[in-house]
Amino acid sequence: MSVPPVSDSALSADDRQGGKTPLWTAIILAGQRPEGDPMAAFCNVRYKALIPIAGQTMLERVARALLASPQIGRIVIMAQSPEGLKAGLGPDLAENGAVAFVESGDGIATSIHGVAGTAIAPWPVLVTTADNALLTADILNSFFSGQDGQHVAVGVVERRTMLAAYPDARRTWLKFRGGAYSGANLFALHSAAAMPALALWSTVEKDRKKGWKIFARFGPWLLLRALSRTIRFEEAMARAGARLSLRAAPVVLPFAEAAIDVDKPGDLELVTRILQQREG
């Protein structure tokens, strides 16, 4: 799909004219491996994004949470077979002019790079995933309010927050001085200045769960500080961002649910229980 680019300067001028902050474009990553997804097979559905939980597919839940936030102006659902996902949305969403479907290419970062900053996904861009089924407008508002002019921001939950609410939850933790953190599947890209981060992402996608391999890309000194836990997460991201000539920071969220997605049957059981309690 070829769409004309939208420049940062043009958007900024329009925003100043209107006197308001631009609304976010939310990209939902709803693709899966070519060989299929284990959770899709476990739930007997064709696509993981269409796994039903408490009466709605995961994709529909994420889309509705995004539209419930006053800071989201547009949703782009990205997948290898986007047409096959429309049935997983309610009719009001599938026909909503604020919701678009885009076919993904080779790799997540490359696909995002192809649409971010264009007419279909103008800046600023929020990236999340279709299995982020516990997402709420409150989580989104906390994520947006925790940002302070960074080009790239990453939502995370501190381990103490998670264990206080769900002591048996198993997550992947990035350990730093002062705390350990798990990702919340929320990534903010504010402008074209974030493009170098997407380029890096495309080279480390397969290692995204191994924090030390990512920090190794920024030289032995930062890797040593990260491995020895003698650097705080905020400082590590700031230094990594500086190497890419951009400002980067984590946004620590106070919601344990923000870091619970659906990767395993145990996750599905936990998310189902949480949603039934929340909605019942």
| Mean pLDDT per 10-residue segment, the chain (280 residues) | 33 42 95 87 96 97 97 96 90 91 89 95 98 98 95 97 94 91 96 93 61 62 74 92 94 98 96 94
Interstrand relation of 24-29 and 174-176 (parallel, antiparallel or unpaired): unpaired
**Which residue, 58, 14, 62, is CA-closest to 272?**
58
Separation of alpha carbons 109 and 18, rounded Å: 32
DSSP state letter for 1: -
Separation of alpha carbons 150 and 176, rounded Å: 21
User: Tens digits of per-residue pLDDT, 61-88?
Assistant: 999 999 999 999 999 999 998 989 998 9
User: Tens digits of per-residue pLDDT, 147-189?
Assistant: 998 999 999 999 999 999 999 988 889 889 999 999 999 999 9
